[in-house]
Each structure stands twice: as structure tokens, then as C-alpha cells.
Amino acid sequence: MPNSRATARATPLLIAEHAPLTLNEAAIDAARASLHDGAVTPNVGPWRHDIVRLLNDALATELVCMLRYKRHHFTAAGLASPKIAEEFLVHANEEAGHADRIAARIVQLGGEPDFSPDSLTTRSHAEYDESSDLKAMIRSNLVAERVAIEAYSQMVALIGDKDSTTRRLVEDILADEQVHAEELKDWLAD
Ligand SMILES: [Fe+2]
Ligand SMILES: [Fe+2]
């Protein structure tokens, strides 16, 4: 049976041994140099290449989603639900906005945003779709949003505290995709 007095004595000791929260002075000194890196400081440095790669895959995903929603907007316009066709355009514009924010962050990190149309669909997590039926369009958009939500959730976990600016951007976009998915789920049920 554990000695309760010993346990009570051990607790403050554990707290006292906890590593103090101190800044990395060497990294702060390094931040004074390398001015050509702009906003990229040593904290992000080791992960920059990986984060740019993840962001470029996300950029491809956003561009494919924007194209799919545009296609659906124009082809659904003649179908029974002009309201949903209009909503597809709203989503298309929001995906384009996401793509712009991701591209801007890639440049901030010293990378190059990849807008190459040749490899868009192979790099994108989500798929393009040419359905002609409104329900099939909604379903394919919901699948794409769910794929994006999963990919962005994994990115948030991977990036963690390695690059808080990128993580916040991804969290912001993730919240928008969750709203998109909820809307699509409702339209599918109508
Ligand atoms: Fe998006
Ligand atoms: Fe979306």
C-alpha cells in the first residue's frame, strides 16, 4: 500500500524539477542574421521544406475544388435548383480565396507556389467531377470536402507548434471546409 505522506512530499518535488520555460537565446541571435529569410526565423527553418510541400498539395486541392465547383455552378444552372447552383459559385470563390492565402504563405516561407495545371489533379487530395445530375454533384462535393477536412486536420496535427502562423491559417481554412460540408449534407437531405 503506498505511503500517503511520501506521495504528498513527492508532488512539490516534481513541480520543482519541471524544466523552466526559457527562450532559445542562440535561435534569437540567429534571427538577427539571415535577413534574406524575411519572416522565416530559425524556429520554422528545419520544417520549412516539409511545410511548403504540404501547403503546395493543399494549394492543388483548393484549385481542383474551385474548378469542380465552377463546373457544377455553370452546368447546374439549368437544373431544378438555381439556388444550389448559386451556392456552388459561393463555394468556388471561397476555395479560390483559400488557394490565394495558401500561395501567399508559401511565398512568405521562401517557397514557390505550384500552379502548374498539368499536375493539379495528381497532386490534389480531392477529385475533379463532371457529374450532370444535381444530387451526384452535391455528393461528389461532400466527398471532396470531407477529404479536405481530413487532410487539413492531419496538417494541423503535423505542424503543431513548428509554425504557428501556418497552423492558424490551416485551422481557419479547415473551419470553412467544415461549414461547406455541413451545407452540402443539408442539401443532399433536401
Ligand atoms: Fe477550401
Ligand atoms: Fe470547401
What pLDDT was estimated at residue 13? 54
CA-only gyration radius of the chain, Å: 23
User: What gap in Å lies between CA 56 and CA 20, rounded to an integer?
Assistant: 37
- Cα(118) to ligand 2 centroid in Å equals 22
CA distance 137 to 190: 14
What averages of pLDDT result for each successive group of 10 residues across the chain (190 residues)? Answer: 47 64 79 74 80 97 98 84 93 98 96 97 96 94 96 94 94 98 92
The alpha carbon of 37 and the centre of ligand 1 are apart by a number of angstroms equal to 28
The DSSP line for 51-115 is: HHHHHHHHHHHHHHHHHHHHHHHHHHTTSS-HHHHHHHHHHHHHHHHHHHHHHHHHHHTT-----
Cα(13) to centroid of ligand 2, in Å?
50
- Which ligand number lies closest to the CA of residue 145? 2
Yes or no: say if 64 and 130 are a contact pair by the CB < 8 Å rule.
no
Tell me what pLDDT residue 37 has.
Answer: 76
Distance 62 CA to ligand 1 centre (A): 5
Q: Please report the pLDDT score of residue 79 as a whole number.
A: 67
pLDDT at site 18: 76
Residues 106, 52 contacting (CB under 8 angstroms): yes
pLDDT of residue 51: 96
Quote the pLDDT of residue 11: 54
